[in-house]
A and B are shown apart, each in its own frame.
Chain A
Amino acid sequence: MSKENELKFGFPIGAWQKDSLELFGAAGYDINFDENFQKIEIDDPEIECILIRPVAMVSFIEKGFLDAGISTEASVLEAQAKIVQICNLEFLKPVPSKTKIVIAVPKDSAIKSIKDLDGKKIVTRVPNIARRFLEKNMVPAEIIYSDALNEPLAGVVADAIIEFSRTGNYLKAYNLRIIETIFESSVILIANEKVLKNKWKKEKIESLGYLLKGARLAQEYAGLMLHASNEMMEVVLKVLPSLKKPTVTHLRGENWFDVLTVADKKEIRNIIPKLKKIGCTDIVEFPLNKVVL
């Protein structure tokens, strides 16, 4: 039974569990995974965390057993569930590679393209996504569901696998070759459609979204502080990203200004040398906890 002021929140078991815990921590929650009891403890009495697999979570949220949760785009697609996406948390960490769903075959396999899968056996943990992809490409193949480590099965019990790949390390370790990437999946905060009609729950979920997304963005952004003279200001403001309006303060009794802004860390490494060349001084970069634009 759902209590009035309590959010039943789905917490992803598996690949995203650790990163999700860290993100909640960064968002300002004392959260702890008790390994003995496989339970999540959070210092907010208004949130009850329920650990669950992302695909099952999506269905539970659709049916209203859970109010909201952290799942993935792939899970929503696999479960074909109707839910509301509150915000996209991307990949929980600024990683160079996205989580993909790929079709992979043994390196020495004769299968070179999707067409060669005709009549073959494919093992996958996302049978619905796999089936629809093959139907769309008009390739009849046998799909076998398995949700354990599927990489070792390619070339042994099946001709190909359709699996998640974050770094490609597993595929390499099992001597597999990607023949097609069929989907790129982000981590998302989702909610049940009807739950959003309840004012308290809607605000609670939205607030959670601001904080989680804010903590997520702070991983990619940093604060930037510098001094620039009146003559430099025009050029400086052009160099700075327009993400947030910079705060410009006149330095007492001087023809100089203090400029404060936030920027993508990757941009900052290009911006700082430029600012230096313009003649800016006292350039300071500092870390952020949250960015809510």
Chain B
Amino acid sequence: MESQKIKLGIPKGSLQEYTLKVFKSAGFDIDVPERGYFLKIDDPEIECFLLRPQEIPKYVEKGKLDLGISGDDWIFESKAKVIEVCDLKYAKQKIKEVRWVLAVPQDSKIKSIKNLKGKIISTEAINLVKDYLKKNKVKARVEFSWGTTEVKPPRFADAIVDVTETGASLRAHNLKILDTVFLSSTKLITNKAAWQDEWKREKIKDISLLLQGAVRGEEVVNLMMHIPGEKLNKILKILPKLKVPTIRKLASENWYDVTIGCEAKSVRELIPKLKRMGCQGIVEFPVSKIVS
């Protein structure tokens, strides 16, 4: 019998680098050849393919892939029927969600969604925009854009719906944001057939657990500190309650070593506070995975 394999789609493009990073923290090394789309992964039970995130949902739906990573935006856009295994809560390293916005030229007469009636909207995500217009009961022409959408208004389109991070590119093209059309985060998706196969389901669940652990690990750090005995209770009260702190008395001294897990974001408030309260030897170190 041929050994079983999970066929996995890895998104090429903006999600690629971070996806590979999360897989690495999860314990999978994926090697991307210079010019090739057949990825090598150090797990003989997985076969990897590098594909555009726009296409991954369809391939998962059709069973060409058992498992894939893509955004809500492309899952919606492709109308693929897939099973969401878990939310990976990342879009790019720093930004949790991809934001699709409706933008028009700074001096446009279009001031609200209602003014879009009969206008041309250029976008890479046609279905997303059609759905948005339908919800807002506005009829407009939606035209597919192959890219560089932000250069199209006012000559080639009246408005656009495009992805933005900081808004810098929109500003540079003299566009202003009118509304947020869609917020998308990254999903691990599979199909019914794979989910009903016992071996595949277990394997997918394991991968999902490790990936979520790795994503969570990115958000959490460990903090280790020495606290003088007389201040222990006071300081324990202000420590975050992510998990129960490990408290150890230092040999032959009235000092305690306390180790806690806490949100990486909270550390920049916490460390100065602890320092001022009399903690010493404060050390922060990274966590690779958290599985609770």
Contacts and interface: CB of A to CB of B under 8 A. Distances in A.
Contacts of B275: 210, 292
Given A207-B272, A211-B271, A245 B281 contact: yes
A36 B150 CA distance: 16
Give the most central of A34, A203, A286, A288: most B CB within 10 Å.
Answer: A288
Nearest to A218: B284
A244 to B, nearest CB: 4
B199 interface: no
Contact of A288 (B94, B226, B280, B283): B283
B285 A245 contact: no
B113 interface: no
Contact of A28 (B255, B265, B281): B265
Contact of B250 (A214, A218, A247): A247
A292 B224 CA distance: 10
A32 B172 CA distance: 17
Nearest to A215: B284
A157 to B, nearest CB: 40
Given A207-B272, A214-B271, A245 B282 contact: no
Interface in A237-262: 244-245, 247-249, 260, 262
Interface in B273-292: 275, 280-286
Q: Chain A: interface secondary structure?
A: mixed
A287 B172 contact: no
Given A211-B271, A245-B255, A247-B250, A291 B94 contact: no
A248 to B, nearest CB: 5
A29 B168 contact: no
A247 B257 contact: yes
Contacts of A223: 283, 285
Given A287-B285, A289-B284, A290-B284, A28 B166 contact: no
A289 B285 contact: yes
B94 A210 contact: no
Contact of A210 (B248, B271, B281): B271
A27 interface: yes
B20 interface: no
Interface in A210-248: 210-211, 214, 218, 223, 244-245, 247-248
A288 B264 contact: no
A37 B264 CA distance: 29
A37 B94 contact: no
B234 interface: no
A286 B285 contact: yes
Contacts of A29: 268
A267 interface: no
Interface in B104-149: none
B268 A36 contact: no
12 contacts: A29-B268, A36-B168, A206-B272, A214-B282, A245-B250, A247-B224, A260-B257, A262-B283, A290-B267, A290-B271, A290-B282, A291-B283
Given A211-B271, A211-B272, A287-B286, 4 more contacts: A27-B268, A245-B250, A249-B248, A288-B284
